[in-house]
Amino acid sequence: MKLADAAHDFLASSRIAVTGVSRDPQGHGSNAVYERLVERGFEVFPVNPNATELAGKPCYPDLAAIPGGVEAVVIGTRPEHALGTVKEAVGLGIHKIWMHRSVDAGSVSPEAAAYGREHGATVIEGGCPLMFDPAADGGHKMMCRVLQLFGKVPRTVTEP
């Protein structure tokens, strides 16, 4: 499946969790994703086991703690934490998973992605939801094109 199609399907979700949000938002991609999705009208839930609130809103220790659940999750933690998040997501019936990455390794874990696909999830390994409408801006769209040239953003997504 083309990345744009997978991104469109992911962003069709109305309730999205973002893991790895920080109480100190400077330089944290998760915080930028969280804030933009909120601005664009998504119902977004920050996940950080070390915080109880973010900007005056509840922050959840894990996906299971989110009241009413979510349809999708953006993983914004270090790659070594991705497998645990994917296992939890799959166990909760969440089958839209995005492992955030821009210029560095980001949150991408090939092991976690394989686990997700083996269990019926669509896993986007890299890039950022902010690179695609309706969450996008011009800077992120340009970054997507450049990072695709360098192989940091996938052109396709392997279906489960």
pTM of the model: 0.92
Residue pLDDT, tens place only, 31-71: 889 999 999 999 999 999 999 998 788 999 999 999 999 99
Contact 20, 62 (CB under 8 A): no
| Residue 158 within any structural domain of the chain | no
Domain count across the chain: 1
Assign 72 a pLDDT band (cuts: 50, 70, 90).
Answer: very high
* Planar angle of CA 123, 36, 59, nearest 5 degrees: 80
Say which CATH number the domain at 134 has.
3.40.50.720
Answer yes or no: is 134 within a domain. Answer: yes
- Please give the C-alpha separations between residue 92 and each of 13, 63, 95, 105, 134, in angstroms, as whole numbers: 16, 8, 9, 26, 26
Residue 86 lies in a domain: yes
Residue 42, classed as helix, strand or coil, is coil
